[in-house]
Amino acid sequence: MSGAPLGPEVDATPRPLPARIAHRGRSVDLEPLHVRHVPDLWRAAQRADDSWAYLGYGPFADEAAMRRQVGALAAMHDPMFFAVRPHVSGTITGWLSFMEIRPGDGDIEVGHIWFSPSMSRTRAATEAMVMLFRHAMDDLGYRRLVWKCHALNAPSRRAAERLGFTYEGTHRNHRIIKGRSRDTAWYSIIDSEWPACRAAMLAWLDDGNFDHKGVAKRSMASFRG
């Protein structure tokens, strides 16, 4: 046997692929993305052109253009898109996806996150992401959860850090998006880190952490000690 240093042995059983199913939460529901969601999404996207700055699509000239894009996204299996329906409004106000799914490596990303401004800094926005995190790590047994974003996307980088992801580095000249060069910042949570991250997420989302106006009493970082 080779004397070269090698990584630890692990369970190499391929993890299951995620399914296109609904997820029900306390403050938000996720539904497999469908063109029937377009009227809600189009209303949510009004006066929100800046929210598309770091995505490879949008803003859209009209509802028909958004419908074509949503139809294309909804037909994909990787990325696998979910529409976001906060309970407070009852309407679809965003989407997100599983993507870069590698069952053989136990590696999966949550990305393509678009939330309308009405979801900014809300419990529903956090819970929508956490539901996919938990499905990947707890239900399907993935060993690495990935978050990546444009290196200049400061809000996304802050969100990754808030959720407990570890910065891994930046891939320079990684993509060309809308005719511009993109450096990509990479973050991850691995299986050994997941229990502590999950505990902080769930403590932050607990009903007792919110006042009568729906404002969080404590930051998520405070629950990580």
- Write out pLDDT tens, residues 11-39: 999 999 999 999 999 999 999 999 999 99
Helix-, strand-, coil-residue percentages of the chain, each rounded to 5: 35, 30, 40
Q: Residue 215 contacts by C-beta under 8 Å, 6 or more apart in sequence?
A: none
pTM above 0.85, yes or no: yes
pLDDT at residue number 117: 95
Which residues does the chain have with pLDDT short of 50?
none
pLDDT at residue number 83: 98
**Rounded to an integer, what distance in angstroms lies between the CA atom of residue 135 and that of residue 137?**
6
Question: What's the full length of the chain, in residues?
Answer: 225
4, 36 Cβ separation under 8 angstroms: no
pLDDT at residue number 1: 54
Helix (H) / strand (E) containing 128: helix 123-134
Query: By C-alpha distance, which of 106, 99, 95, 105 is closest to 70?
Result: 95
* Structural domains for the chain: 23-224 (3.40.630.30)
**Rounded to an integer, what distance in angstroms lies between the CA atom of residue 120 and that of residue 37?**
20
